[in-house]
Amino acid sequence: MDYAEGTVKKYIRKYSRRLKDGKKKKYQTEQVQIMLPKKNDIFQDDEEVIVMNKEAFEKYEKLNSTIEKQKNIIESLKEKVETLKIDQEVEFEEKTIDKNYLSLQDEHDLLKENVNLLEKEVKYYKKLNEKLRELILKLT
């Protein structure tokens, strides 16, 4: 924001007039003049401007700075929320993967048990087959 610093000069003039009915009435005029150094020639002809005292301007600047800090904090919090959402999604995916892994592991264990049972049956039938061969050989 462009701004210029200057000095305010206030002129007051008091005068009295005599009205048509003969009475005297007192008037007062006020003129405010703001003196700006020539180096602060940042204004254009017929430009509308706002004039405020330095204390109000400093409060405005301080408030504006606080607003900017709050905006930065809000943006940071938004980023953290997004990160947290992503982390929660990843955590959910990890839990799903863990459940699937456990399910597959249980299935693997069952299949392994079945394979062991089948191997035992195969051994049993091999032994039985050998005994039958021996019996057939003895009989012939």
Q: What is the pLDDT along the chain (140 residues), one digit of tens a residue?
A: 678 888 899 999 999 999 999 999 999 999 999 888 888 778 888 988 888 888 999 999 999 999 999 999 999 999 999 999 999 999 999 999 999 999 999 999 999 999 999 999 999 999 999 999 999 888 87
Q: What is the pLDDT of residue 1?
A: 67
- Contact status, residue 37 vs residue 63, Cβ threshold 8 Å: no
pTM: 0.47
At residue 37, the pLDDT reads 84
- What is the per-residue DSSP string for 21-61? TS-EEEEEEEEEEEE--GGG----TT-------HHHHHHHH
Q: Where are the domains of the chain?
A: 7-139
User: What local confidence, expressed as pLDDT, does residue 6 receive?
Assistant: 87
CB 14 within 8 A of CB 27: yes
